[in-house]
Structure formats: C-alpha cells, structure tokens
Amino acid sequence: MVVRRRGSIQDVPSFLDAANRGIRSKRRHIRFVGESPFGPRLRLRRFELGNGLRICTVVDKAAPVVAYHTWYRVGSRHESPGKTGLAHLLEHLMFSATKTRPAGEFDALLERAGAESNAATWTDWTCYYENLPHRYLELAIELEADRMANLVLKQAQVASEKEVVANERMYRVDDDVEGTATEKLYATAFRKHPYRWPTIGWMDDIRGLTKEDCLQFYRRYYAPNNAVVIVVGDFDEQTALEGIREHYGTYRAANLPEEHTVRETALRRTKPLQLFLPASTEKVQLGYRAPPFGHPDHVPFTLAHEVLFGGRASRIYRQLVNEQELASECRASIAPFVYAGLYEVWLSARPGQRGNAMLEIFDQEVDRITRVGVDAEELDRVKNRYELFLLQSLDSVGGKAEQIGFYETVLGTSEGPFERLEAIRQVTSKSVQRVCKKYLRPAGRVLLEVFPEEQAA
C-alpha cells in the first residue's frame, strides 16, 4: 500500500470515482452508504463492497492506535438441535492454520506487532478484534481477510479444541452453581426458540461435533455479505479502504440460509423449579420474558432495571443487602438479544437466611413501582448512571469499535449508541411504570430456587 497522511477522505465522491474506475469486477466496487456524527467531534462513515461486505470507519487521532473489528451475523441461535456449540467451537478454530499460513502464525504476527487480539461468541453474533499500533493496520486487514475464506481444519486439531471447549463448559457450567442454574432457567423459559440452548453448547453435542460440521458451518456463514468490518483510530481512511478492497474484494457473496423466526409461547404462569446444588446458601433466580433490544420497550425497561438493581443506591440492594441484611449478592440483567429474551434476576442469601424472604421483598419493590411509579429525582439518578456507563464504553478506540459493531450487527445501525442515549433521556416515570406492569408480572416468570445439597433430604 501507499502510505499517506493519516486522516479522513476529504472528497468521497472523487475518491470513489477514482477507486472504481477501471475495476471490472463488481465485487471489488466500493459504494458509499452514508455518514453521520459519532459524538460531538467524530464522523462515522459507512461503505460497502460489491460482494456485500459492510465497512464502518471512524478516524480518531486521540492516540496512535487503531481498532480493527470483524462482526459476523451468526451465533448460537443459527445452530440446530444436536449441533449446539458449533458457533463457539468455530470461534476457537478460527485461530488455526489457513491455506497461506501455518497454525500459530496468526497469533505470532500480532504479538510481534504488540497487538491485543481476541474473539467472542453469543446468541446472535460472533466478533473478532485487534487493537494495535496504527502502523500495523494493514497486517490486521490481511490476517482477518485471510481467515474469512481460507481456514484449514484438521481432525486432530478439531478434537483437541473440542476438549478445550468441554473443559471450559465443565468449569463455567457443570461445576458452577450459577452456570448450572442459568442453563436450566433458559431451557425452561424457552421451549421452541434456539435461545433455549447455551452458547457453549450441550456437552453431548460438543463431544459429537465433527470437522465436517465445523467446515460446513464456516462455509455457510463466514462470508463478506454476512460481516461488517469496523476501523476506528488514527489511520488513513483511503489507504484502509483500498486495503480492504484488495484483500476482501475477490470473495464471492454466500447464499445465506433463510432464517425462519420462531415465535416463543408467552409465560402466562409461574414455572417453579428447585435445584439442590453444592451451594453454601439458598439462592433465587428469576426469568421474565423481555423485549428484543430493538423494541421501543427495551429503553424504559433498561431504566426500570437501573431503579431496581443499578448499584448500591438501587432499591433491591438497599433493601436486601443494607437494610434487611438478607442477601450477600443481588443483581439482574436484561439481555440485548435480536429477539425477545429474558430479564434475569439473581438473589443470593446470607448464611441462615431464606430465599423466599428475598423473593417477597423483591416482589414488593416491583409492585411499588407498578402502583406508585418512580419520582423525578430517582429517575434522573438512573439516567445519569446509564449515561456514564455508555460514555465510558466509548472511551477507547476498541470500545467505540465494539459498540459500532454490536449496533450494526444487532440493529443494522452504526449510530445506535448515541440514538439510545437520546432515547434514554426521553424516558418518563410513566413509561418505567408501564413496562414494569407489562413484563415483571409474578404470574409470568420462571422461578428457580437453589438449595444447598444437604437440604435435599
């Protein structure tokens, strides 16, 4: 590549006209999708190659570093019964050999460049990232493009990585109280939707996966038209786009499988469960059906969650930990899923305290919100808390790239973080009250009680 002064393209139409002139292959054409502010001082631009690869760029000269993220729109929900864990296993195998590089060279080259590199898999997506000195951006482009299309798998390697994943599952799920309980919670709350199985997969399925299973999954979903590349940091935008076109532009778009949306049945009555596990105290886990991340209700529900569980000033922490001294731990999460997920609540009792006492106080606090609502001072506090959390997540180039990749993959919009922040600011007490009434109904939840094993008798 020709090294240029780092910065944004000043005249995008002229650049595209010159870049596409004489390029016969439509797969290699670069198209400008649009641009928008990304915070008060940065611009986010979206481009697309003719083969469907989406590209998001944010030039940020705050430090001489760059983040290069690749997000694929595939996760555990794209698996099938009997083949669970494929997306996660393939994530592990993506650090293997390619047709042009032996096993181990991917990591060795990035370590030599001083890069931070890793990956993650979840229900709706898989992402790979490199955060590195800006002068090594071309290396990241070349390596990620290579493993998008040229992965080589061998039977021994697949068998070895399956053992790694099986051990990871034993540590995080089978030998972990919360991991076991959460897996049971989802398997009970979902009867039809693929969210019912864990991202790491069922153990029997992991053991049964083959090299052919992995290659088939890879060829089906690892394609330019199922991915978005995000470049954030101190780099030359024109050089980066030309490099991406050079390394990805020969790849063909894949015929992606049509996804059939599964409508899950509503939770119309409490589903009680009891587990006796090697726990030191009683615990309660709750699962309520929650709106998809892109649903308008997800925003006020996020603030309802902050009112209940957002830090030490939250209602549940004050009641269960500080005042009543019933719990040693209390937390919850609302899953940012593409489809309707769960609102999970986890309450862990202090020694000698009972789980049903914690549950009673939790229900009382939810009922108080549904009857009385939230006053202006409390609502302002949780809004400020959420705003701080979101802005802190955008503090680094890696954080910016992660947020852009997530919103682009889940919602199809790169400006999502700031749009969500503005939506949070508009939430009223009545909307928080409304979503609590709608979603946090005691009659529509999974109630999972965990007891120490010695209480089984």
Does residue 118 contact residue 129 with C-beta atoms inside 8 Å?
yes
Which token pair is 280?
């030191």
Q: Are strands 271-277 and 126-133 parallel, antiparallel or unpaired?
A: unpaired
Location of structure tokens 């030359």: 236
> Does the annotation mark 242 as catalytic?
no
C-beta pairs of 117-121 under 8 Å, 24+ apart in sequence: 119/91, 119/94, 119/95, 120/91, 121/75, 121/76, 121/87, 121/88, 121/91, 121/199
Q: Any residues with CB less than 8 A from the CB of 330 and at least 6 apart, and which? A: 309, 316, 317, 320, 321, 346, 347, 348, 358
Q: Any residues with CB less than 8 A from the CB of 300 and at least 6 apart, and which? A: 427, 431, 432, 434, 435
How far is Cα 286 from Cα 358, in angstroms, rounded to an integer? Answer: 12
> Amino acid identity of 273?
L
* Helices 298-309 + 429-439 axis angle, to 10: 90
Does residue 219 contact residue 399 with C-beta atoms inside 8 Å?
no
Which token pair is 397?
């180039």
Q: Which of 35, 48, 79, 91 is catalytic?
A: 91
How far is Cα 411 from Cα 57, in angstroms, rounded to an integer? Answer: 18
- The set of catalytic residues is 91
